[in-house]
Structure 1
Amino acid sequence: MFGVLFPMLARRSRWLSSRIPRGVFDFAKYFGSGVIIATAFIHLLDPALEALGSPCLDPAWGNYPYALVISLISIFLIFIVEIVAFRWGTAKLAKLGISHNAHGHGISSHAAHGPESNRQLDPDAPTSSGNPEQIEKFPAGLELNASDSRKHGHIHAHELSVVESAATQIVSITILEFGVILHSILIGLTLAVDEDFKILFVVLVFHQTFEGLGVGSRLAYMDLPAKYSYVPIIGALLYGITTPLGIAVGLGVRTTYNPGSTTASIVSGILDAFSSGILIYTGLVELLAHEFLFNKEMINGSNAKLAYAIGCLILGCGIMALLGRWA
């Protein structure tokens, strides 16, 4: 709970944010991305392969790499869900005269920062580029000699694009949370029934704290309207209670649950494989691609900033991968 809440509290608190350097927040964000990617491969996909490849299972389970297939299906399911949601949402917004950036940032065509956007608003607007500072200000109609009704239209379009952007972020973080929560419940269940409790407990404290830092850094950097400000808090609380919930379930069935049984291996293997697909997609597409390849701040930034971000990413991934030696 501390790991997932700290990035949000540090960013929301003026007292903390004024005393903590920006580099610390960047470290948490990129370190957390590395943690999530390593979790997908080392802490989910590998256990799934081991569970579904167990010699205790029916020999038919060994005829095909089912864990990899389930992970692959999970990746494509998330991809299809997202692309359908984007297409449907974009079509709805197009009817309202709003364009949408599918990389997760809702952008009103009325705020496209270019003369062509002004022509969409007002066919009589001049085609020559005006004052860049004026163009950057939103809503753009406030700098034009437009009617009050047209000004209200600009503001309404901006509000819709902000809401759509918020919905996009909420969908993305929900997908991430779903995979992490499944993993956390299984971890709690394993901890409650495992005989080698002490070593596993210490490792999982670090494991869940680092993973919480990764999830918390994503939640902290959600750019949401005020009315959606509660979403990151709910996401953090859900992450914080899932492992204890799994422990409670494990304690309840401790006398009857056999983690080495055929049923347990199949169930945990399927859930781990499915969760790995979710986190692989989220880690590589939502985190790596969006934070590095599609992020103008990163592309146009200095080499030192890029190297720092990649170093944090590799460090988080490396530490989480190292923890896979014990859990």
Structure 2
Amino acid sequence: MSSTIQDIFPSATDIAEELHCGPGGGADDFLSLRIASIFVILVGSLCGALFPVLAHRSSWLHVPKSIFDFAKYFGSGVIIATAFIHLLAPALDALGSDCLSEGWSQYPYALAICLLSIFIIFIVELIAFRWGTAKLLKLGLAHDAHGHNLGSHAAHGPETVYKSPDANRAEPKPDLNSSDSHSHSSDPESLQGLDDSPATQIVGIAILEFGVALHSILIGLTLAVDPEFKVLFVVLVFHQTFEGLGIGSRLAYMKLPRHYDWVPIVGACLYGITTPIGIAVGLGIRSTYNPGTATASIVSGVLDSFSAGILIYTGLVELLAHEFLFNKEMMNSSNSRLAYAVCSMLLGCALMALLGRWA
């Protein structure tokens, strides 16, 4: 049997086509169902994100507190599993693709970008924690939930009155800008006061939404052109609903003044439209967009790595640490309530990790 030169030494184009790295577009079958998926996932995402927010505010829909607690801790588990299974793992695959040049395989770029993202978010929150509330106070843009200025925890007077969330009495708090107060900055009550400020809460939820939004747009693009559409579609309906429940439960428990009541609703709606936007964009460029190309692999790998760092930091620091270790109410609660919260979180994490088998 004779062999040609091309059979022995295939060109780069032939290798790319064999690996599906070429510039060709994605799958074009089930077009009507792909279009319908925009609206199906929009409804699922909005229901998951808006239900905790609206139910928490409703005076006629009496949802037991245990259900809210379940949604909150279940959502925390979902977010943590999303970071590792649905973001970091695909980022490692994308930046380790055979379609990329050899240089990409010589260093764990996905892990490095994730690490960089974690420290960037830490620095951003550190700046917001220390200076953000004071800046907003100077601009006259914010007040805390009890009607005092947002910067009352960092005012320049000798002392300010801090309204404890766990008590009905006012407690004097020292000025956190003074040298004496800095020496006691590790005091849990002082940290709790700063942590409850609207600016800190808004920054925290904005960071979480940003990480989830990047991920949602990417999976929307993938769904629009993926050959395994049916399986991916079913999985993403559950994926987006569960993730929306996690986002919505965090939004519902934000303690904001009345003139910031719109923030949780807008946040839930923004989450709801991100994946449908990704699907719509993917359908619009389906004739040219191929998620297996080198460029697409680099873009998705970098964004997934960055988003993974955001959700890892948020999930472990903002959710796990703050809700369990640094939460006085939780630490003083009964063993049964603590077990209920931990099991709810583990269930959310397990279900979201299981969905990673297909998406």
Bin of the TM-score, shorter chain as denominator length? 0.7 to 0.9
Task: Give the whole-Å Cα distance in 1 for the aligned partners of 2:326 and 2:196.
Answer: 19
Contact 1:36 1:317 in 2 (8 A): yes
Classify 1:163/1:323 alpha carbon distance in 2 versus 1 (closer, same or farther; 3 Å). closer
Per-residue deviation, 1:88: 1.7
Classify 1:163/1:228 alpha carbon distance in 2 versus 1 (closer, same or farther; 3 Å). farther
Task: State the match for 2:251 in structure 1.
Answer: 219
**Aligned residue among 247, 254, 261 for 1:229:** 261
State the aligned residue count.
278
Alignment of 1:3 with 2:36, yes or no, is no
Contact 2:117 2:310 in 1 (8 A): yes
Provide TM-score, normalisation by structure 2.
0.73
Per-residue deviation, 1:87: 2.0
Please tell me the residue identity of whatever aligns with 1:49: L
Per-residue deviation, 1:89: 3.8
Task: Give the whole-Å Cα distance in 2 for the aligned partners of 1:187 and 1:92.
Answer: 37
Task: Give the whole-Å Cα distance in 2 for the aligned partners of 1:240 and 1:90.
Answer: 29
**Aligned residue among 242, 260, 268 for 2:274:** 242
Task: Give the whole-Å Cα distance in 1 for the aligned partners of 2:160 and 2:263.
Answer: 27
Alignment of 1:110 with 2:164, yes or no, is no
Query: Could you list the per-position Cα deviations for residues 145-174 of structure 1 after superposition, in whole angstroms to 9, with x for gaps in the alignment?
Result: xxxxxxxxxxxxxxxx89981111000000
Classify 1:275/1:139 alpha carbon distance in 2 versus 1 (closer, same or farther; 3 Å). same
Classify 1:69/1:313 alpha carbon distance in 2 versus 1 (closer, same or farther; 3 Å). same
Q: Name the % identity.
A: 71
Please tell me the residue identity of whatever aligns with 1:195: P
Contact 1:32 1:313 in 2 (8 A): yes
Classify 1:163/1:225 alpha carbon distance in 2 versus 1 (closer, same or farther; 3 Å). farther
Per-residue deviation, 1:288: 0.6
Please tell me the residue identity of whatever aligns with 2:162: A
Partner SS, residue 161 of structure 2: helix
Q: Would you tell me which structure has more helix in proportion to its own residues?
A: 1
Please tell me the residue identity of whatever aligns with 1:229: D
Task: State the match for 1:296 in structure 2.
Answer: 328
Task: State the match for 1:14 in structure 2.
Answer: 59
Per-residue deviation, 1:137: 2.2
Contact 1:44 1:272 in 2 (8 A): yes
| Long gaps (5+) in structure 2 | 1-45, 139-148, 173-192
| Long gaps (5+) in structure 1 | 101-107, 114-132, 141-160
Task: Give the whole-Å Cα distance in 2 for the aligned partners of 1:73 and 1:65.
Answer: 12
Please tell me the residue identity of whatever aligns with 2:216: S
Task: State the match for 1:36 in structure 2.
Answer: 79
**Aligned residue among 180, 191, 194 for 2:212:** 180
Per-residue deviation, 1:85: 1.9
Query: Could you list the per-position Cα deviations for residues 228-279 of structure 1 after superposition, in whole angstroms to 9, with x for gaps in the alignment?
Result: 0000011011001011000010001100011110000000000000000000
Task: State the match for 2:242 in structure 1.
Answer: 210
Structure 1: which 4+ aligned runs deviate by more than 4 Å? 90-97, 161-164
